[in-house]
Amino acid sequence: MKRGLHGMVTRLKVTLWTLIVPPTVWAVHFLFSYLWAAIHCAKVGGFPRLPILYGIGTILALLLIAGAGIIAHLQSRVPGDPAPHEESTDSDRIRFLAYSTVLLAALSFVGVIFTAAPVLFLTDCR
């Protein structure tokens, strides 16, 4: 019983971590996207490496979100878990939370792409 409870608590901690990472990474990337767009449109000089750093940051954001999604996916499908019954168990709730996190990670991944694409290809700021 104790081993099962410890494993469930560990899975819950990992699932909660993966639940926090995707939207946080998206939010930080979103803020930097608008900062980069504002600097570019204001034609403020002295930032020649900013596009390269922004591109690297975008790739890192996508990798972090994808990693969190993969971990959440693995948490949602643990072999050896009992089959779901009519009444939910704690394990079923954790698997549902992990599955929801996979969907949140996918949404955050797409959000980063849609935030980065216009900024990376920004040419005219009228």
Q: What is the pLDDT of residues 20-51, one digit of tens each?
A: 888 999 999 998 888 887 777 777 766 666 77
CB 88 within 8 A of CB 7: no
Across 8-17, 82-91, 108-117, least confident range = 82-91
pLDDT at position 2: 45
Residue 4 has pLDDT above 90, yes or no: no
* 93: Cβ contacts below 8 Å, ≥ 6 apart: none
pLDDT in tens, 58-81: 999 999 999 988 888 887 776 665
> Crossing angle of helices 50-76/2-41, nearest 10°?
160
